[in-house]
Amino acid sequence: MRVQMQRWIPRSIAGIAIVAALVTPFVVSDYDLFAMSRVLAIGIGVISLNLLMGFSGQISLGQGAIFGIGGYVAMMSVRFLDWHVSLALLAALVVCAGVGALIGLPGVRLGGFNLGLLTIVIAALFPILLYRFSDITGGQAGITLSAAGITSPTDALTDAQWLYLVVLIALLLCIGGLRNMVSRRIGRALAAVRANPILAAAMGINAERLKFTVFVISAALAGLGGALFAFVLGLVVPESYPLIFSITLLVASVVGGSRSWWGAIVGAAIIVYLPTWFSAAVPGDASAYLAQLIFAVVLGLCIIVAPGGISGLTSRLFNALLRRTVPDRAASAPSHSTRKEHQ
């Protein structure tokens, strides 16, 4: 009975959360939807990092740069090429997958700490290149759209409601696809590589090819999240993608739980709402520095107290509560030999 509850209770909660998310745009203001849409778009970026770190064991500090590339590609496709939003999103996916392939080819072979150094260099160079090629990227002014990037096709929904639903559906599709992927053969292969690379190679698993594939998929998803985030904001500027942004995505992944899909949304919500709360509580520029300090403190606490992040801690508390309240029938049922003795 306990095992059954461990399965259907989280699924029921997930179902309720999805229904609540679908109802949300009809009960909150467009201003609140703007912040929520940012959370969902950044959540896709954090999910891509969870796939890379939590399931393949690779470290990337350049996810923010790939996120930004997706935003720039999408905005430039709509602004300069007059492409439809769907084509712009597809372009961001393809271009960022290509960028992931270029980084992944040497990066996967380097692996570990060296891969982290390579990606952090890319994250540091990205805003500099945006300023250097200002004729294309718009420099400090960035790229803006004359109208909303994603407009509602019906009068029954405002642009903010429609945009929120588009980003939400994209997030749910990403989560569903990744859950399906890691629950199948590729997920078992990744688990084998993480547990024992030598044994995995003896089983015929090509670890480098597998990690390269995951790196490319992760980059493509980061690009999709960046494109949606750009459409939510309505602009892209270099100041949105500094090195600290890549580190912030890493913090969101660790704090939310690097092996949890819903934990990525929790982490994204923290990095979106925490600076807003501090800016309201602490006037001036001090709020930004204080928010970064709080990020560091929260990260340190999670590493020490909850290595699995908020999702891992919640799961442990939930299982502990079940053990205290729900009896295990398999353990409490008398064994065959005991029943025979009573007879």
Q: Are 119 and 103 in contact (CB under 8 A)?
A: yes
Structure tokens given for 190: 């990744």
> Would you list the domain boundaries of the chain?
30-241
37: Cβ–Cβ under 8 A, 6 or more apart, which residues? 160, 163, 164, 167, 232
In this prediction, residue 1 has a pLDDT band, given cuts at 50, 70 and 90, of low
pLDDT range class, residue 236, cuts 50, 70, 90: very high
pLDDT above 80: residue 19: yes
**What is the C-alpha to C-alpha distance for residues 278 and 281, in angstroms, rounded to an integer?**
5
Grade residue 337 by pLDDT with cuts at 50, 70 and 90: very low
Q: Which residues contact 121 (CB under 8 A, 6 or more apart)?
A: 62
Decide if pLDDT at 114 tops 60: yes
Closest CA to 74 of 59, 93, 61, 60: 93
pLDDT of residue 302: 81
- C-beta separation of 110 from 118 below 8 A: yes
Q: Contact 165/152 with Cβ under 8 angstroms?
A: no
Please give the single-letter amino acid code of residue 23: V
Asked if 59 contacts 115 with a C-beta cutoff of 8 angstroms, the reply is yes
Q: For 306-325, what is the mean pLDDT?
A: 81
Helices 261-281 and 243-256 cross at an angle (nearest 10°) of: 120
Please state the rounded mean pLDDT for residues 32-54: 94
Q: What pTM value is reported for the model?
A: 0.90
Beta-ladder partners of 235 = 144
DSSP assigned state of 54: I
Contact 246, 239 (CB under 8 A): no
CB atoms within 10 A of CB 22: 14
Q: Nearest 5 degrees, angle CA 153-CA 146-CA 74?
A: 75
| Range 183-187 average pLDDT | 85
Q: Report whether 44 contacts 172 (CB < 8 A).
A: no
pLDDT value of position 25: 94
What is the b/e burial string over 61-78, where b = at least 16 CB atoms within 10 angstroms of the residue's CB?
bbbbbbbbbbbbbbbbbb
Collapsed DSSP state (helix, strand, coil) of residue 144:
strand
Banded model confidence at residue 266, pLDDT cuts 50, 70, 90: very high
